[in-house]
Amino acid sequence: MWRYRWHALAMAWVVFLLGAFAVYLMPDTYRATARLYVDTENTLRPLMRGLYPDTDMMSEVALMTRAVLFRDNINKVAIETDLIQRAKTPEQTEALLTDLQRRITVAGSREAENIFTISFEDPDRQVALDVVEAVVENPKVKHAVLTEAEGQIRDDAVLASNTSTISITHLAEPLKRPGNFCGMHFFNPVHRMPLVEVIRGEKTGEDAIARTVAYALAMGKKPIVVNDCPGFLVNRILSPYIGAFMGLVRRGVDFVAIDRAMERFGWPMGPAYLCDVVGIDTGVHAGAVMAEGFPDRMKYDFKTCHEVMFESERFGQKNGRGYYAYEADKKGRPKKVVDEKVAALLAPVIEGSETLDDEAIVDSMMIPMCLEAVRCLEDGIAASATDVDLALIYGIGFPPFRGGALHYIDDVGIDKFVARADELAAAVGPLKAMYVPTEKLREMAASGGAFFA
C-alpha cells in the first residue's frame, strides 16, 4: 500500500507543460520525405526531456502510446518540426534531427522551444487517428491549438485535452465537432500514477468517451468517467483539503506538525510537502480557477500562506525552496529540510498561535475534503461512491487502507462525522462554508444511512 508513497503528486492541481505536443499514429509506408520516423524508445524520450526538463509528462504519454501501438503492429510515431519540414531528402532530415538534438543538449529548453513546433501544413496530416492535446493551462492557448488540430484530423477522430482545471465544455466552444471532444486528465508522474479522468463535456458523445476509456485501458491506466466542473473530480475534492491547510497555518499551527500528523494518518506526504512537489505557482493558479468556480467555499478573504510563498518566489522543489528548502541526497534526488526563513515570511499572515493534537489536525484537514467528495457525488460529477473513492486512491494517494473519502465517513459514522463538522464550522471563522454538511448528508445521518452497505 506504500508503493506510491513518494510519488503521489496532486496536480492534481495542474499539469503545467511548457509547449505544444501531439502524437499522430501513422502507417509505416507513409512518405519519409514528408516526416521523420523516430524510434520512441531511443529518440523521442531524450528529445522530450530536452524540451520539457521539468516534467516527463509528454514523453511518458508518447512511450505508453508506443506500447499500445506495438499490440497492433504499428511501431512508429511521426514527429514533425519546422526544421524537418524543410528537409528535401532523408539525409537532410537526419542531419536536421541531429542538429536539433545537439541544440537541446547544448542550449537547454529555451532554444529548443524556439525551433520545435508542430505544423499542420501537409494535407496528408488527416491520416491522424485520435489526438491528445497537452499545452500550457491557458484557455486561449488551448482554444487556438484545439481549433487548428480539429481542422487537420479525420472527422471521426477523437480530440482530447489533458487539462487539470479548465472546463471541457468551455474548451469545446470553438470546435466544429464538440461531440468528438472530451477531457483526458493524466496525473503526474504519468508512468506511476494509475488514474486517468475521462471528462464528459455538455456536448461530448458517448463514442468519444468509450474510445478514450479504451485507450486509457490499453495504456494500463485506471480510467474513471466524470462530468465537467471546475477541477473535475479529484482536484475539486483536493482543493478544500489545501484550503484547510492554509486555514490552519493562518491560525498559527506549525505546517511541519500538520505534515507529520497527516503522514501518520496515512498520506504519502503532508500538505506542505505536497504543495512543494506540485509547485506553489501551480497551486496558486489552480486555486484561482477553483475560487472562481466555487466562491462560497474556495475563495478566501484573507491573504494565504500560498500567496506569501508565491510572492517570495518560493515555488517548491522546482526552484529548491518552498515551505521547505531542498538539497540533493546521495542519489541526486531533492531532499527536504526545514528552512528557518519561512517562519519570518509567514508571520504577517498568521493570526494566532494554536497548538493542536494529531486528531484535531486530521479532523480539520479531512472534513472539508470528505464533504467536497459528498458534494461531487450529489452533483453527479461521479457516477458512484466507488468511483469517487477509487479516483482519490489512484489519483492523489489517499491512504488505501482507509478506502477513500466516503468509506472514511462511513467508518467514522455519518452521524458522528456531521456532528464534528458542525462543531468545527462554528470555530473556523472565514472557512466555515467548507465545514458545513449538505442537507442530504444530514438526512443520511438521521436515518442511519451509509455510502456503502
Cα–Cα dist 420/435, whole Å: 9
Whether 185 sits among the annotated catalytic residues: the reply is: yes
DSSP of 320-334: TBSSEEEEE-TTS-E
Cα–Cα dist 76/29, whole Å: 10
Nearest Cα to 46, choosing from 97, 120, 115, 121?
Answer: 97
Q: Assign 3-state DSSP to the chain and report helix, strand, coil percentages, each to 5.
A: 55, 10, 40
Q: Which one is catalytic: 7, 170, 185, 306?
A: 185
The answer to whether residues 149 and 181 touch, using CB atoms and an 8 Å cutoff, is no
Nearest Cα to 49, choosing from 35, 38, 64, 60?
Answer: 60
Rounded to 5 degrees, φ, ψ at 190 are -60, -40
**Maximum alpha-carbon separation in the chain:** 76
Residue that has been written with the C-alpha cell 502510446 in this structure: 65
Q: How many CA atoms lie within 13 A of 71 on its CB side?
A: 9
DSSP of 386-444: HHHHHHHHHHH---GGGT-HHHHHHHH-HHHHHHHHHHHHTTSGGGGGGGPPPHHHHHH
Cα–Cα dist 173/226, whole Å: 19
Q: How many CB atoms lie within 10 A of CB 282?
A: 24
Catalytic residues: 185
